[in-house]
Structure 1
């Protein structure tokens, strides 16, 4: 069954159609490419706006911590900590230029797959502390690659790896 709904048709949609639509949206928001893209544009202490689910309004907040799929924000009005999906964050626009708008509309970056990488390749990735790392693949596992960098081995999932052209 295919949904053929327009935004103006949503109030007349059946509950089943709305449920299907919510499932599709949840899948799109959980896409690792979107999460990685959002995380790469954030840092601890950054001022952001976030969508407040209870009242449906944008509120000002500050990034307190970042996890795999959620970000913790301090609500500057109520001084409460709120755990949000990365999709609920609106980054403060520094200067709204046409180039910045075009960049925000760009599709998420491609996700690396196991077939895209080989032992001996130079790759980069961002670790859990959001530090950029550069290393060499020493082993290919089923779900991850073992990357040697700075005298330490890291197990990194393929979607988080990026090829290095010149280093």
Structure 2
């Protein structure tokens, strides 16, 4: 399981002209699921995500976590994180989990964020989405449960 996380001043996601999720401070998470991923992979990423110290403290040092700053998460499912571009010009998505497996793990991932008492907003799984964010820093970090 891969997650691209971006520290956000604000962010929103729109589907078919309607906003389905918005945050005013926290993290935007683009989440990709591959075939061998399990709930343990989601648990690992969620634990990292909510405790990663990437928010500024009173001295301007990245020393506070999402929980410390009462931040929120805007979670977006993104199968393209498992694009294979080694051959040709059209990416292959064979490494991305199928929609049924990916949706179950995406929902579980979001439930686990909530279980850590962090509010999570989402897009709509499998839909074309427009994501807008103001990246704060900018801070962008890649988390991969297979690189523990």
Q: TM-score, normalised to structure 1's length? A: 0.23
- For the pair shown, the structure with the greater C-alpha radius of gyration is 1
The structure where helix makes up a greater share of residues is 1
